[in-house]
Structures are given as C-alpha cells and as structure tokens.
Amino acid sequence: MKSVTEQRLLVTGNEAAAIGVKLSNVRFISAYPITPQTTIVEKLAEMVSKGELKSRYVEVESEHSAMAAVYTAALAGSRSYTATSSHGLLYMHEMLHWTAGMRVPLVTSVVNRAIGPPWNVWADQSDSMNQKDTGWLQVYCESNQETLDTIIAGYKIAENRDVMLPLMSMEDAFVLSHTSEPVTVPNQSMVDEFLPEYKPEFVVDVNNPRGYGSYATPEGPFMELKYDMVSSMERAKSVIRDTLREYSDTFGREYSGLTENYMMDDADYAFITSGTLASTAKYVVNKLRKEGKKVGLIRIKFFRPFPQEEIREALKHVNAAGVIDRSVSFSAGGSLYSDVIASIYRKLDVPVSGFVAGIGGRDVRISDFEHMFSLVQDGTEGMQWIGLKEVD
Amino acid sequence: MPLSIPATELMEPGHTACHGCGATLTMRYVLKALGKNTVMSVPASCWAVIPGELPYRTLDVPMIYTPFAATGASITGIRESLDLQGKQDYNVVGFAGDGGTADIGLQSLSGAMERGHNVFYIMYDNEGYMNTGVQRSASTPAGAYTTTTPVGPMRNYKKQPKKVVADLMIAQGVPYVATATVAYPEDLIRKLKTATEIVGPKFIQILAPCPTGWYFPPEETVEISRLAVKSKMFPLFESIKGKFKLFRPGSPVPVSEYLKKQDRFKHLNEAEIETIQKSVDERWNELVSREKTV
C-alpha cells in the first residue's frame, strides 16, 4: 500500500542524493568539497546543522582523508557516507582499493566530471571509469529519482552478507547534479523497514580484539581473499536483482536490474550507453522508430558487476550495435566498449561499433546519435570520436 | 617500592620485530599506560609487519591498518563512530612511524589535530624509513647515513636538520604534546597517563632507536636512547595547554658520545661533529628560553 506521506519535490540530483543519505539513516559523513559534488555535502551539513539528520558531519582536509575516515567509522560500527568528483575521486584511489579489500559496505556518490589538464568541471565519466578495478560496485544513474533511490537500495545491496563491497553511485555533472527534476521522496518509516540498521558482523570491540587488514605473504590468504572479492562481485548480481525488485515493489518504481532495455524486444540495431546519454538515446530511438528503423537501447546501469549475461541476451537477435563511452581509455577502445566486446566474444556474431562522445561536457546532440546510428548500420569498426572539431 | 610500570601485558610474544627494536618497546609501554580499552590504528610502517601475518596478531587490542597517509583521518573515523555508539571510554590511538608522520601523513595528522578529536597520536621515531630498508625521512637527523643519503666521496649524507613534528604540533595549538624515549619508561608512561586526563588531541613523539638502521648492537637500544637525551640530541619536553616544560638530563654528555655509538654517523669528521654540537646547543638554548617565556 502506498503511503500518503510520500512527497513529490522539485530537486537537483545533488539534493536528491542528500535526501537519499538522510533517509538511509547514515550516521557518519565526511567529505571534502569539489565542484560539482559540493552541493551534496553542503545540503547534508545543513541537515545536520538543523537537526534534521542525526549524524556526525566531519570536515576533513582531503578526499584521501574523507575515505579513510568513513571506512574506519564503518568498521567501528556506523553507517557512513562520502561524496566526491573527478580529481577528488582520483585522490581517493588508494583508499578505494583499501575499503573494498577491507569489505566495508560504504555508499559513495560520484558526480562524474572530466579529469584535467586542462581544467574542466563538466560531465565526463573518465573519473569513475578509472576506478573500475577497485572492487566497488558502480551504478550510473539516469535521473534524479534514480540518484535518490540508488543510495537507499545501494546500502542494502552493499551490506548484504553475500556482497560486502562498497558501492559508488554516479550522476553526470550538471546534467543531473545541478538540474531540477520532480522526485518522489519515500517516507522514512517505509525506508526504515526496507533498510534495517547497520549491523556489521565484525565491529571494533575491545572485548573481542581483532586485526583489520594485516599483511599476507604469497602463501598466506592474499590470493584467496582477492578471489573472494571477485566471487562476491559476481554474487552481487542476484542480490542486485532481488533488492531492486523489492525496492520497486515497495516504493512503486520500475527498476529491472543491472541494465534497462528500451525497445529492445524487436530491435535490429542497439545503442549501448550509460548515464544521461541514455535519455537522449531514448529520444532518438523513438524518432528513428517513427522513421521505421527498428532500433533499441541497452542502458548499462551497473557497470560493476558487469552485466554480460543481460547484454548477451539483449543482443542475441540484433544485426549490429554501437557502444557510446563518455570517457577516455587508452585501451583497445573505450572501457564500456571493451567490456561489451569481451562479453559477447565467440558467443554472438554481432558487429559492434565504438564511440567516444560528450567528454569534457561536450553536447551529444540528436544529430550526433543519428550519425552514430548510420555508422552502426554500416558496421563501422574501431573507435570513432563523435563531435570532434577541426583544429589547426 | 611499588612498581610504577603496570604489570599488564597487552603485547604477546611472537612478534616479528628485529632484535632490540625500539618501536616494539614503545608499543609495549604505550599499551601498559593506556590499558585494554584501546583501539590501535597503524599505517604502513614497521608496525604494519611486527604484529604478525594474517590472521595472527600479537596485540590484545583491536588493530585497524591503513594506507600510509591515512593515520590522522582513520583515528577521526574511529573516534567519532565510537562516540556515536556511546563508547567514549575507548582510547583511540594512531601509531605511526616518523615517515608516516613527518612526511606522507602530515596533512592527515594536522587535520585530525586541528579538528580537536579526543585521540592519541603516537609517533614512534626511528628517524628513517626502516621497514623499507633505512631510507631518509624528514625526521632523520642531519649528518646521518641512510641508503638514500649515502656518504661516498661527495659526502652526500642527510644535510637538513631533523623536522621536529612535536614542535609543529605545539605551534598548531595541540593541547598535549610531549617527547619521550624507551630509556625512561616511567617518564613515558607518566606522560601518557597525563595525556589521558586531557580531552582532545594528544601528540607524543617517542624516540625508538633502530639497531638495524642506526647500525648498533641490539643490546644497546636502551643505552642509546638514554644517550640521545643526555647528549640533548633528543630533548624531552612536555607542553600542556601551551605550558612548556623541559626535562634536564642529570649528567649531560657531548653529542660525540651519542654519535660514536652508531655507525650511521661514523663518516663524520671532527668539524662536522662540531657543527652538530653547535646546532644541538642552539636548539637547547632555544628550548630553555621557550620554557622561560611561556
């Protein structure tokens, strides 16, 4: 039964994230400001200051310290949160490995922003794509509603005993972070019921002293612990599906799992992308459908764990696909592209085009998508840069 | 006469430290002073290895390991989280070496102290990166050989004076700052107990001689740390809410007495030793005047 106390608010992505944190009963928050994340932590500081959120808010001197403070606070027994962006996330990189390796189920918001030089504060997923091998679950949100919901569901997924890995929730800089959309805010008591109090199995206790993160030799359990992390990431897939189903049933959403398929049932061609580019892609899919072109979209919501099964299933009957990366990789194509290719290798005979688009916040226009569609139809191979200007 | 040093042992046998390790004695005394209601946070350092291989641990207190730069921030998280749960009676201790304190960890230390958390920060000062094989840190004294300040014909040993983190902490207004050594365990334990009375950040820099890195026989650790104080190379002082107190050694010795016991200084000639003596005297006079003016 839907609660009458549910609220409908017009909020930015960053406000939505802060509301999600508040509803999740986070008890310890620590962060360092960076554009365009800042308004998340400002909002949280304000909530704490007004007494709306019963939480410790600790201002630290760097992002490295922010992550160090939240993981130790979580080990000591408090549900913890931080948020960052771009260079701040890169500065945390060491700590990201450490929190995941320590199996601390944090949730962290990342507002996707370009990496300099040159300085650029606009949307670009290169920052979080750089963290894809740190052992964190990664969610790329498409709307402010999803940004809010992902925090609440994210804690439940991360804290699941079968997972116990931290979760990173992304929003595209400014496109979501500073843009207002109507958002349905669930009521607190329903969230409390959905997300129980944080009760870690091992908590710092002087009467039961333990070591957290000691050293291991080549013959020690190092390799086994890394294997266990990878296995847990794999196990997270069913936890994600179950948790999002439960979340959708409880709060009236339609989250289907690790990916979202849009008009894929009868599609001959597919776009594959993540974040807010997926919204433009949906618009273009509608437009092309009206022109009689059977195209669909696979939106990658979870990039970690990587949804290879879903992708294989969705691409089974298509003639060709095009992957759009909003990030830079110096590999054999973009990060998303490489993982898509690896997922279908020797299982599906589908040509896949790769595109780099929208980095540094550059607009990806409807005409750009139409151009990409024509390249996909032609079966163009290799990475294509979309919207590149001619320079002298 | 009743023992002034608690009989309780919170450090078990079986650790993997070198013979004569000053850092191990430091931990043992610190735990005797603080007791079992203590949580240790340890960054990359000798002490990341000394407690033993996973899942073993030679300390009877919870230990949280952190990457090198994160000690200050880690005790922030532990302290605030424990307070939230009403566990104010836990001592939260960052236990880091001089590299992790004076160099890579300084930002995080300074931040934690500035925020005023009720924590202890113990810097065990073995004057170099000893876990990685005797490299220079900012806390290495001038004149010392290390593997990154080798001597050779260019006499390229450590040229800069020791960065004294305790001084930085006093300048930052940390309410309790002290120096101590393992040669004076009663003094060390008294200082920790005094610090316990203060609610807020406490910083204690403890000289922990390293036979392996300073090149002296392991049975001389205590004697060398005593000579460090007597030669005034490592002055003992205490600053309680800005009130500065200097401890005067009973029978002072020239710095040559201290230097000649350690092969890390054996390349120094008379003139160089004289230069060190001069700088030690200058610093001592400065400390004496600091005591008078405060």
Tell if the CB–CB gap between A72 and B78 is shorter than 8 Å.
yes
A56 touching B (Cβ < 8 Å): yes
Q: What separation in angstroms does the CA of B257 have from each of A256, A317, B209, B225, B228? A: 76, 85, 15, 12, 9
Which of B57, B90, B110 has the CB atom closest to A211's CB atom?
B57
The pLDDT, as a whole number, for residue A159 is 98
User: Considering only CB atoms, which chain B residues are within 8 Å of A198?
Assistant: none
Q: Where are the alpha helices (DSSP H) in B101-164?
A: 106-115
User: Considering only CB atoms, which chain A residues are within 8 Å of B67?
Assistant: 68, 94-95, 98
A195 three-state secondary structure:
coil
User: Considering only CB atoms, which chain B residues are within 8 Å of A206?
Assistant: 36-39, 61-62, 90
Q: Which residue on chain A is closest to B89 by alpha carbon?
A: A206
pLDDT band for position A3 (cuts 50, 70, 90):
low
A265 touching B (Cβ < 8 Å): no
In this predicted structure, the answer to whether residue A390 has a pLDDT above a threshold of 90 is no
Contacting A residues, span 206-245, partner chain B, CB-CB under 8 Å: 206, 209-217, 220-221
Tell me how close the Cα of B30 comes to any Cα of chain A, in angstroms: 16
User: Considering only CB atoms, which chain B residues are within 8 Å of A78?
Assistant: 80-81, 84-85
State the helix-helix crossing angle for A13-23 and A38-50, rounded to 10 degrees: 40
Neighbouring CB atoms inside 10 A of A82's CB total 32
The pLDDT, as a whole number, for residue B154 is 83
Gap between the Cα atoms of A262 and A162, Å rounded: 30
Token readout for B215 is: 């090149």
Residues A20 and A148: beta-carbon distance below 8 Å: yes
Q: Which residues contact A220 (CB under 8 A, 6 or more apart)?
A: B53, B54
For B157-194, write each residue's pLDDT tens digit: 999 999 999 999 999 999 999 999 999 999 999 999 99
In this predicted structure, the answer to whether residue A160 has a pLDDT above a threshold of 60 is yes
The pLDDT, as a whole number, for residue A236 is 98
Lowest mean pLDDT among A41-55, A136-150, A355-369, B152-166: B152-166
User: Considering only CB atoms, which chain B residues are within 8 Å of A59?
Assistant: 115
The pLDDT, as a whole number, for residue B153 is 87
For A57-66, write each residue's pLDDT tens digit: 999 999 999 9
Q: Which residue on chain A is closest to B108 by alpha carbon?
A: A65
Residues A71 and B78: beta-carbon distance below 8 Å: no
Q: Which residues contact A167 (CB under 8 A, 6 or more apart)?
A: A105, A106, A107, A108, A136, A137, A138, A139, A154, A155, A157, A158
The pLDDT, as a whole number, for residue A103 is 97
The pLDDT, as a whole number, for residue B156 is 81
- Cα four-point dihedral sign B284, B288, B289, B294: positive
Tell if the CB–CB gap between A215 and B63 is shorter than 8 Å.
no
Which of A61, A78, A211 has the CB atom closest to B84's CB atom?
A78
The residue among B11, B54, B91, B92 with the most chain A CBs within 10 A of its CB, best to mutate, is: B54
Q: Which residues contact A139 (CB under 8 A, 6 or more apart)?
A: A150, A154, A167, A168, A169, A170, A301, A302, A303
The pLDDT, as a whole number, for residue B38 is 98
Which of B39, B65, B82 has the CB atom closest to A214's CB atom?
B65
Which ipTM was obtained for this model? 0.95
For A224-260, write each residue's pLDDT tens digit: 999 999 999 999 999 999 999 999 999 999 998 999 9
Q: pLDDT > 90: what percent of chain A?
A: 96
For A8-29, write each residue's pLDDT tens digit: 999 999 999 999 999 999 999 9
Q: Which residue on chain B is closest to A220 by alpha carbon?
A: B54
The pLDDT, as a whole number, for residue A1 is 47
Q: What is the dihedral of CA B161, B162, B163, B169, to 10 degrees?
A: -130
What pTM value is reported for the model?
0.96
The pLDDT, as a whole number, for residue B1 is 56
pLDDT band for position A84 (cuts 50, 70, 90):
very high
Tell if the CB–CB gap between B77 and A28 is shorter than 8 Å.
yes
User: Considering only CB atoms, which chain B residues are within 8 Å of A76?
Assistant: 39, 77-78, 81-82, 85
Q: What separation in angstroms does the CA of B19 have from each of A229, B134, B182? A: 37, 16, 15
For A318-338, write each residue's pLDDT tens digit: 999 999 999 999 999 999 999
The pLDDT, as a whole number, for residue B108 is 98
Residues B208 and B126: beta-carbon distance below 8 Å: yes
The pLDDT, as a whole number, for residue A23 is 98
The pLDDT, as a whole number, for residue A198 is 97
Across chain A, what does the average pLDDT equal? 97
For A257-302, write each residue's pLDDT tens digit: 999 999 999 999 999 999 999 999 999 999 999 999 999 999 999 9
Residues A146 and A302: beta-carbon distance below 8 Å: no
Mean pLDDT over B46-53 rounds to 94
Closest CA relative to residue B173, chosen from B104, B81, B119, B110:
B110
B51 touching A (Cβ < 8 Å): yes
Q: Which of the 8 DSSP states describes residue B25?
A: H
Neighbouring CB atoms inside 10 A of A83's CB total 32
Gap between the Cα atoms of B158 and A141, Å rounded: 53
pLDDT band for position B293 (cuts 50, 70, 90):
low
Q: pLDDT > 70: what percent of chain A?
A: 99
B253 touching A (Cβ < 8 Å): no
Residues B129 and B142: beta-carbon distance below 8 Å: no
The pLDDT, as a whole number, for residue A217 is 92
Tell me how close the Cα of A129 comes to any Cα of chain B, in angstroms: 22
The residue among B8, B31, B80 with the most chain A CBs within 10 A of its CB, best to mutate, is: B80
